Structure 1
């Protein structure tokens, strides 16, 4: 890892603070990190826990994890020594971050390939530390962010659709409604019930979801449930397909049909393919 502690100020949207790559160990930051972090999972799997939440998010390969500065969190490999992570952290104004789609909310986005991002990160690393070139590092960081935006925007992974599209409306109401759907996906939630929870009409709420997520609230709920079902299938082989479906609030037959539509495999086939891959 290389850090840039220079006090030199340059007129660019972002400046690089740290860059590097290595096996990620268990990390707990009670007051968050002093800079905004982007962590690329190169291989292996990890898990992320945000303080104030009960659950851990599973971080798989070909994903980028964004953690804003000052966000209390902890993350660790699922298996010790089996989570290779490349990272870059940066400083930048709130308006600059917002223009690139980075808010004060952490997110995990899938990407198609790590190759170009790792290439740019290595070049950032060479311009950091004892050879720190603030202008060159910042220029490369903007190239890195451009590549990241392009890849995450083009991703076909259903989980990418759980986050607002770049430049979309980020109404507090619609984000609260989305969080409610994630927290209570196991319940039978109707449009009328959701609208009542946030104090908006069904028509207004649908319009906000379409602006922010390019989908309706109930279609968003379906995506939340399928993404959660996919993670459960990956993490716990002892749970039956019917139990997975009920955990995420879906009828088993409906879950199987919709899972096949989203992933191209029925849940049982998906689980067998994972097991075969792990045994290779």
Structure 2
């Protein structure tokens, strides 16, 4: 899920929750210690470990399966703990009139602002483990696919953002959940989580949708319907988008890697990879690597 800017500027004032951007990548060092970011941010760590530091010196270390909520306009800096180990971070930036209330429900800390009377408080980030991490990641990916489709999906993306934040609250306060509400092992939602994880684990292989459906325990037709209903794209489109996103990472992180090697890493024929890359990004992999090397 490469960085994606939501195309809904004309709707931001109407939506109680709106998305500015979303994505995931192998995170590098980011410096925003002076002013922070204009909107709230949710970070999900899929792999590796990193540290967030806010203005004033407080640090938050996050590892795999953890989330961090960064309130708007809080000066911060973050980086992977080890340059040698990949820190895979998913993120979404959001705002709207309903955003502050949802952050409050999640228990975003409020500490006395530095240099002020103790009656004045300033929001602080909160980092926590997420028992429902795979569900949250699945929802983040679904939002990314929605905003990729353009402004016509802005309302649906807003609804999905609310569901994501509600799932985050539910994961932190399970006593508020109805008994037995957690999806049973055979539920469609669990099946999609299994399928998405299977796709990620076998991305370097020749992925076939019938094999993915079999891993999820469904017929191809039924799996296709469930997948489209949740993601808004077909399984084939999802796999292709994931591979194209990974191609950008490989070309950016390993300048010496040939087009043939990238295609092999993605489980794709070279000619098909070049054709799909050009269709997606408007240029060939070789030209992209030369322009960004």
The TM-score with structure 2 as length reference comes to 0.49
Equivalent residue of 1:31, what SS? coil
Over 3 Å counting, the alpha-carbon distance change for 1:76 and 1:119 in structure 2 is same
Gaps of 5+ in 2: 109-122, 176-293
Over 3 Å counting, the alpha-carbon distance change for 1:40 and 1:98 in structure 2 is closer
Over 3 Å counting, the alpha-carbon distance change for 1:153 and 1:115 in structure 2 is same
Q: Does 1:16 align with 2:19?
A: yes
| 70-79 vs 11-20, greater mean Cα deviation | 11-20
| Distance across 1 between alignment mates of 2:44 and 2:90 | 5
Give 4+ residue runs of structure 1 displaced > 3 Å after superposition.
Answer: 94-103
| Distance across 2 between alignment mates of 1:102 and 1:6 | 29
Over 3 Å counting, the alpha-carbon distance change for 1:113 and 1:99 in structure 2 is closer
Deviation at 1:50, TM superposition (A): 0.7
The TM-score with structure 1 as length reference comes to 0.51
Deviation at 1:141, TM superposition (A): 0.4
Q: Does 1:118 align with 2:123?
A: no
Number of aligned residues: 154
| Distance across 1 between alignment mates of 2:104 and 2:55 | 27
Gaps of 5+ in 1: 156-280
Q: Does 1:85 align with 2:89?
A: yes
Q: Does 1:40 align with 2:60?
A: no
What is the aligned-residue RMSD (CA, Å)? Answer: 2.1
Alignment of 1:1-280 (within 5 A): 1-9=3-11, 11-29=14-32, 30-53=34-57, 55-80=58-83, 81-93=85-97, 95-97=100-102, 100-101=105-106, 103=108, 104-129=123-148, 131-132=150-151, 133-154=153-174
Contact 2:6–2:150 (Cα < 8 Å) also in 1: no
Over 3 Å counting, the alpha-carbon distance change for 1:8 and 1:120 in structure 2 is same
